[in-house]
Each structure stands twice: as structure tokens, then as C-alpha cells.
Amino acid sequence: MKKILSTLFCVLAINVFYAQDIPNKTIKSEVFKDEYKHSTIALVEDDGNGGVFIVRSYFGGIFSPGAGYYFEHYDANLKLIKEFEYEMKRSEFEKYGSILGVIMNGDQVNLIDFVYNTKDKAFVCSALTSKISDFKFDKKELFRLASEDVMKSQWFGGNQFDGDSGTNFILNEDKTAFAITIDIKDKNTETHKVYLFDNKLNKKIDHNFKREIKDKKFKYENIDVSKDGNNLYLLGKVYTDEKKKKKEGGKYQYELTRINKDGQVSQVFDTDEHFSGSLKTVVFQDKLTCIGFYSDRKDYRYKGISYFELDPISLAIRKSKYNPFTEQFIVDKYGKSKDKELKNLSFRGIMITAQNEIVFNAEEFYITTHYHSSPNGGGTTTYVYHYDDIVSAKIGNDGNIIWARNINKRQATSGDESYISYTSTIKGNDTYFFINTGEKVKKLSNDRIQFGQTSTKKSNLNIIRINPEGNFDFQEILDDKANEVPFMVSSGAIASNSVYFIGRKGKKKQILKVTL
């Protein structure tokens, strides 16, 4: 009798896991065609009346060159109200141009443009600004730097390229301010030019960040803009002579620098006997945290999550913790307890709940190379991009893990990566993931599941939900047979409680809105 009840309980538990109804509402726009095949959602903003304003970047190919932006205004049912195309046209002196980001200020949209002017031999950053009512763009120069001062990116070949070369654009959480950093050429000193602007294009910070160490020994991790738009936090990984003498752990230290209008202040912290291959900053109103994965062996074999909490003004370290992955996480990953560590994890997003808890997401990403011999000699090399398991963890205000889960997934492509991987968001205390799969969800041992391969020919959209206790369920919300186009799930854009995706099949496109 006990065995019968036990079996019945297991069957019921599995049915509950696989058959949950996750409340959501989907709306699709009409299928439309662009002149250009490739486009990506660059910005989504609510219009205040239930509708949405969407900016899409586009670029052509060999037979249809061109690049620019589509500006589209939709109502609450994704009926197109107004549209405008802005084609990027540059003078004969402007080369290697790129739009770094898009930011709005009320009814005004700004395209932040960065271009090399061959006549002036200078890199020039400008804002292309227009009201969304008339789309008459004006150009305003924000700053310029002499070409000889800038560490060249891959545009100019590899002879001057280092790991943090190029230009970075960072938008703060409330989209009220943005930062731009440029790597400055100096072999003996790590140097970055740092600018901060508000969304009205007022310059708030113009700062030279310097670290007295050779450029190759400083690895730029990331930079965050505070919520109030007045402070920048720059995190670097530094290989010093002193750390070379360490017997255990990584032979480096992390350095966090706060930059504001008054200058800069820095804090050094070490990961002790552990390896922590990379950290990310998370900025709150009253505290600052750095989180990442750590290992006891090598940088890329991870055993848990490291957490550092600092004072946002003085940068004094308040607490540091090393959280091993939970037993539940290990069961998710391997089916039973195993003394294994993860590798190839890439950051895919950090989100903050209403309770200031951190949801920390990553994905197992790696590239494999395949050489194909030709019968006549020689051959070709192809690269396969693998997007495997999703790792998600919630960290409490005390720095401890609330839950950690592994979502089994096996996806790879040697072509367009837009249809695989995932987009994630939170609503309330629940965490959501959107992924495509072209196969039925596979059942694994120990009541686990695995999401499999997808393609443009067969792509079913699924939603996964992790609740506050760390339990997760899933359901299919769109079957590929009901769709004219597959949706690019890796590049979803979030506004309020909705996630927007663009679908594409050839030149045919469609916008999808999923409201939680």
C-alpha cells in the first residue's frame, strides 16, 4: 500500500511540474516586410497610453547595402500607428562609424554615434536627436579625441588590439544617464577616458582613469552607472607582482573605482585562496555589490558564487561570502550528487527584485572548431556556437544563496544565433525565461527535463518560471505551426511587465508581445 501511495504521489508531482499554467498574454503585430533582411530591437519604451515605441536597427548585405533605424509606434494591440526610417548616411571623411546606443528623454530620441573622421584624424562622438513627432534629426557633438591617443580596436587590425580596446556604452537602470569609455593608448599605464551624460545630453563627468600598471596587466571587467546618474563604478582585474607570490588562488586582485565630478577613489579586494574568473558590479541606493563565480581549481571551473558587499561612497568592504552551489543545483545539473565543477559560464544578465535581491543568470557557452577536408586538397573550417545549460541563482540581502537552479539545455548553431539561447526577466518574486525548442522537451533521470535544439524551420516558444522558493515549471506558449515566422528569442526587449521579440523569415517580419 505504501508503495502504491508513493508511486501515485510521484506521478502527481511530475504532472504538476509539467502541466502548470503560467499566466501570460501574447499579441502579434501584422506580418510585414522590410527592405533589409536583418534587424534587431534596439529600444522599447511605453508611450503612456498602453502603446509602445520601438526602435529597430537594420543592416543590409552584399546585394543590399545600407544601415539605419526603423522607428515604429504601436497601439496596445500592436497595430502600427506611425513609422519612420532613418538611414545612416556619412560623409566621405567618416569611417568605421557605429551607433553606440539609443536613449530617450520624454518625446525626444537620441542616437549616440561614434565615428572616425579621416580629415580631422579624430574620433568624434555625437548625438543625433529628434522628436518622435516629426523625426527631424539634428546633430550635436559630445566630444572628440585625437586618433593618435586612442587604442585602436579590431577595425584597424590586430597589431594594437588588447582585451579592453574599443568603446563601451553603458546605460543606467532608470535610463536617465549613460557613460562612454574609450581605451587610451599608453603601454606603461592603463588609461581610459570616461564620460558621463544625462538623458538631456548634459555632460556630468569628463575623467581620465589611470592605473600605474602596464596595459596588458589590467583587465577591464565592467562599468556601471549609479541609479541617480552621478557616479560611475569601474571594476578591473589586476595582475600585480605582489599577487604573483600567492601560493593559492588567483594571482590577481580586483580593484573597484568610484568616479564622480570630484575625482576617483579605489578599493582593492582579493578572492583569497579561491579563483574568481570574473566579477560584475550591481549598484543599489545604499550598497554596492560585486558577484561572480568562483572555483578552487582553475578560473573556468566553477564551484559556487562569490559575493562582495561594499559601501557605495567609501567603498569599504562590508562583507564577503563564498556560496557553494546548492545540493538542488547539483541534482539539476548531474542527476545526482557529483563532485564536479562547471566551466564555460558566460554572464547573461543581472536583475534586481523589489526586495533588492539579486537574480544572477549565466549560460554555458563555448565554441568548437571543425575542419572539413576537400577531396582535391585543402579544406574549410567551420565554427559551431554552443549555448547549453542555463544557470540561475537568487542572492539575498545578506549575501547568501536563496536558491540556485540549473536548466538543462542543448543548443548549437553555425549560423544565426538569434533563435537560440534565451531572454530572462522578473515579475514580482518570480523569475522567467523564454527559450525556443524544436523538439519535445526531453525527460531526464531524477525528474529532470532538457530543452533541445531549435531552428528557423521548427521553433516553439516556451516560458519557464522559477518561483520564490526556487521551484520551476514551464509551458509552451507558441507552437511553430501557428507562426508565420520564428522569433529571435535571444534578443528580447523588456518594458514594464512585457517582453517584445522580433520574428523573421527572409524579409518577412513580425513583432511579438508577451505580457506576464
Write the CATH number for 312. 2.40.128
Q: How far apart are CA 444 and CA 410, in angstroms?
A: 13
**In a shared domain, residues 359 and 320:** no
Q: How far apart are CA 317 and CA 192, in angstroms?
A: 25
46 occurs within a structural domain: no
Grid coordinates belonging to 371: 575542419
Domain boundary among 293, 324, 355: 324
Question: CA nearest 432: which of 483, 467, 388, 397?
Answer: 467
**In a shared domain, residues 304 and 331:** no
Question: CA nearest 52: which of 67, 72, 24, 35?
Answer: 72
- Residue 401 is part of which domain span? 327-482
Residues near 481 by Cβ (< 8 Å), separated by ≥ 6? none
Are 194 and 209 in contact by the 8 Å Cβ rule? The answer is yes
Long-range contacts for 154-160 (Cβ within 8 Å, ≥24 apart)?
155/96, 155/116, 160/185
Q: Residue 401: what pLDDT?
A: 95
**In a shared domain, residues 361 and 470:** yes
Domain boundary among 275, 291, 324: 324
In the chain (516 residues long), the average pLDDT of successive 10-residue segments reads: 41 41 94 86 91 90 75 95 90 87 93 93 95 91 92 48 67 92 86 94 94 84 90 92 82 92 90 86 88 84 91 92 90 77 85 92 94 84 93 94 93 88 94 89 77 80 93 90 90 92 90 95
Q: Residue 181: what pLDDT?
A: 92
Q: Residue 159: what pLDDT?
A: 37
Within 13 Å of residue 62, how many CA atoms lie on the same side as its CB?
Answer: 0
**In a shared domain, residues 172 and 316:** yes
**In a shared domain, residues 182 and 271:** yes
Edge-first strand listing for the sheet containing 67-74: 38-46, 52-59, 67-74, 80-87
Q: Write out 278-290 in H/E/C secondary structure.
A: EEEEEECCCCEEE
**In a shared domain, residues 437 and 291:** no
Grid coordinates belonging to 424: 530572462
**In a shared domain, residues 237 and 286:** yes
Number of structural domains the chain divides into: 2
What distance separates the 2 farthest-apart alpha carbons in the chain? 87
**In a shared domain, residues 293 and 384:** no
**In a shared domain, residues 263 and 391:** no
- Residue 329: its H or E element: helix 327-334
Long-range contacts for 492-498 (Cβ within 8 Å, ≥24 apart)?
492/41, 492/423, 492/425, 492/434, 493/41, 493/43, 493/44, 493/54, 494/44, 494/423, 494/425, 495/44, 495/45, 495/46, 495/52, 496/46, 497/427, 498/52
Are 71 and 109 in contact by the 8 Å Cβ rule? The answer is yes
218 occurs within a structural domain: yes
76 occurs within a structural domain: no
360 occurs within a structural domain: yes
17 occurs within a structural domain: no
Grid coordinates belonging to 489: 528569442
Residue 338: burial class (beta carbons within 10 Å; 0-12, 13-18, 19+) = exposed
Q: How far apart are CA 175 and CA 392, in angstroms?
A: 25
Residue 294: Cβ within 10 Å count: 25
258 occurs within a structural domain: yes
**In a shared domain, residues 245 and 312:** yes
**In a shared domain, residues 391 and 478:** yes
126 occurs within a structural domain: no
**In a shared domain, residues 161 and 298:** yes
The residue count for the chain: 516
Question: CA nearest 269: which of 212, 299, 311?
Answer: 311
Q: Residue 5: what pLDDT?
A: 41
291 occurs within a structural domain: yes
Domain boundary among 324, 341, 370: 324
Instruction: Give the global pTM.
Output: 0.88
Residue 341: burial class (beta carbons within 10 Å; 0-12, 13-18, 19+) = middle
In the three-class reduction of DSSP (H, G, I as helix; E, B as strand; rest coil), residue 332 is classed as: helix
Question: CA nearest 229: which of 316, 113, 105?
Answer: 105
